[in-house]
Amino acid sequence: MQRYAGLLGGLGAVAVVFALLSFLIQLLSGGGVLLQQDLAFSLANLVLGLALLAVSVGTNLEQIRERLRTGEARRAGKYGTSAVLSTVLGIALLALLAFLSTRYHYRWDWTEAKTHSLTEQSRKTLEGLTQPVQVTAVFAQIAAPEARELLERYRIAAPDKFQVEFLDPQAQPGRLAELGIEGGRLEGGLLHVAIGKESVDVKEVKEAALTQAIMKLTRHQKKKVYFLDGHNERPIEGAKAAEGAGMKDAADALRNENYVVEPLLLAAKGEVPEDADVVIDGGPTRPYHETERAALERYVARGGAFLAMVDPRAGTDLGAMLDKWGILLGDDVIVDRVQGLFGRPTTPLAAEYGDHEITRDLGDATMFHVARSVLPAASANGAIVPIVRTSDASWAERDMERLLTKGEAQFDPGTDLKGPVSLAVAGTLDLAGKGGAAPTGEQSGAKPARIVVFGDSDFASNQLIGEFRNRDLFVNSVNWLLGDVEAISVRPGQPRASRLQLTSAEFLQIRYLALFVMPELIGVLGVIAWWQRRRAPGR
């Protein structure tokens, strides 16, 4: 038994140390059900450790007395003291680094979708602030951590412009009256965002909602966007607007940018309203009336902004109007057997963008469904440029009869358009003096019009606008048409980070493994390795 005295002593010391560490964690945790289970672990380790130490000392008592009479004990004490001081110094340095990290810190976000970082849109919004933002997070203490984590990102990005206060409605009910917050709106808590004397309340603890609230407080001039109606366009209002083929989500995305969005029945108005900043035609499938066509041409001629989304074989005569403006709609369907979604060649993913304000910061792919080619005509002279292209493996299939009747597509070098194929263009039109577009009086001094044309409207539908970067592409196009270049950015997307849901029992198991079992096992293995090396021949 004496030959194992050193091993038993080392194992006993490990057990006692972890018993004391467990007991210390209990004191710092504040008690509870977990504390009772920790107490059993601590007592078991303490009893086992003291028993092993007692056996080790009892079986090796004579050898201990002999070492005390020699100088070996003094040497052991000297080296032991040095080791203890080194350990204490190391712990002190770690504590100092931990303290400094609370004062000077840097955040890394290694998630795939950058879930824990502010998007470019939020950073631009903060950089453009001329007055500080005061955010009061009205949450009960138990519900505050999620809001605290989000607001900390904003505070770090703009410490001088973003001020945060946490308010517990139960502890400080008087402050609610000062902020004008009614108790009935506090289910789950809210963020009270104020700039100067203006304020809004945000119920969603999400970056998109908070950034949009700040934008609403900073944009005092509301611009108006009209969606054309009357040609079987995708609806933004009514029963069908919320269906997959509708564009309610696209309209809501513009409202979140603080734009006013309304439908426009051009046949009833006769003219595009003077307050129209942008006119959107989303997926028309019927021809324009002559008066409607003339009204739209007059609007563009006087420097209007127009966004058209025209599907293949749509049955609209909008192509003839676009042709006069230097934009060619192809009578074709883009096919991509390499970068089609899940092997569907007519649902291409496009990730090649032109050097344009709309697409410069997109980076990620956008998705389209049954799209046609859109090209600048030679007469455009560089004023109209492609902004979205498909891959090199794609082509624009122009044998429409075979495609529609037989569902077959094969690249024909003599007929089809080889990829990368442009399916969206953007640019300016200077129609003053062109004749026929507007009366001479209206042409004089007219500013250049802005126009964006897509060969697909599905990408902005409710079904697809949330996919990839489709929402950014659509909203950025409207931002550019409105001249709000500073608003063009990549907006907050849906987090793709996974969450691990644990039961109380599973949490306890992981806790014990991480805090006690694994570290104690490492200590036990270390003692065994030390004892074996010590017992090795020649030692």
Give pLDDT, residue 137.
87
> Is residue 531 classed as helix, strand or coil in its secondary structure?
helix
So what's the architecture of 120-213 in CATH?
3-Layer(aba) Sandwich (3.40)
| pLDDT at 539 exceeding the cut of 60 | no
Q: 363: alpha, beta or left, given left = phi > 0 and alpha = psi -120 to 50?
A: left
Considering only 34-43, 165-174, 368-377, which range has the smallest mean pLDDT?
Answer: 34-43
| pLDDT at 170 exceeding the cut of 70 | yes
Q: Who's near 114: CB < 8 A, 6+ residues apart? A: none
Quote the distance between the C-alpha of residue 161 and its chain's center.
Answer: 22
Proportion of the chain above pLDDT 70, given as a percent? 81
Give pLDDT, residue 229.
93
> Is residue 362 classed as helix, strand or coil in its secondary structure?
coil
**327-354 pLDDT, tens digit each:** 999 999 999 887 777 668 888 888 899 8
Same fold, 120-213 and 219-487: no
Give pLDDT, residue 297.
92
> Where would I find the H helices in 327-439?
400-406
Considering only 24-28, 69-73, 450-454, 463-467, which range has the smallest mean pLDDT?
Answer: 69-73
Neighbouring C-alpha atoms within 13 Å toward the C-beta of 516:
25
Give pLDDT, residue 438.
40
Say which residue the tokens 């007692």 belong to. Answer: 54
Strands (E), 381-454: 384-389, 395-397, 417-418, 422-429, 449-454
> In angstroms, rounded to a whole number, what is the distance separating the alpha carbons of residues 132 and 147?
19
Considering only 195-204, 356-365, 430-439, which range has the smallest mean pLDDT?
Answer: 430-439
For 219-487, the fitting CATH number among 3.40.50.300, 3.40.1260.10, 3.40.640.10, 3.40.50.880 is 3.40.50.880
**Res. 7 pLDDT band, cuts 50 70 90:** confident
**Cβ atoms within 10 Å, residue 324:** 15
Per the structure block, which two tokens stand in for 189?
């808590």
**286-304 pLDDT, tens digit each:** 999 999 999 999 999 999 9
Whole-Å CA distances, 130 to 201, 221, 286: 20, 16, 47
| Beta-bridge partners for 367 | 349
Q: What is the mean pLDDT of residues 53-68?
A: 70
Name the more confident of 133 and 97. Answer: 133
Give pLDDT, residue 245.
92
Q: What's the mean per-residue pLDDT of the chain?
A: 81
> In angstroms, rounded to a whole number, what is the distance separating the alpha carbons of residues 73 and 135?
64
| pLDDT at 495 exceeding the cut of 80 | no
Pairing of strands 374-376, 366-367: unpaired
CB 480 within 8 A of CB 223: no
**390-407 pLDDT, tens digit each:** 998 899 999 888 888 888
Asked whether the bond before 420 is cis by omega within 30 degrees of 0, the reply is: yes
* Nearest C-alpha neighbor of 480 from the set 357, 368, 301: 357
| pLDDT at 443 exceeding the cut of 50 | no
Name the more confident of 495 and 301. Answer: 301
Q: What is the model's pTM?
A: 0.60
**Res. 323 pLDDT band, cuts 50 70 90:** very high
Q: What is the mean pLDDT of residues 40-47?
A: 80
> In angstroms, rounded to a whole number, what is the distance separating the alpha carbons of residues 40 and 363?
55
What's the N-to-C CA distance of the chain in angstroms? Answer: 20
Asked whether the bond before 448 is cis by omega within 30 degrees of 0, the reply is: no
Name the more confident of 282 and 141. Answer: 282
Give pLDDT, residue 516.
73
Q: What is the mean pLDDT of residues 184-189?
A: 66
Give pLDDT, residue 75.
64
Q: Can you give the residue ranges of every domain in the chain?
A: 2-69+501-535, 120-213, 219-487
> Is residue 536 classed as helix, strand or coil in its secondary structure?
coil
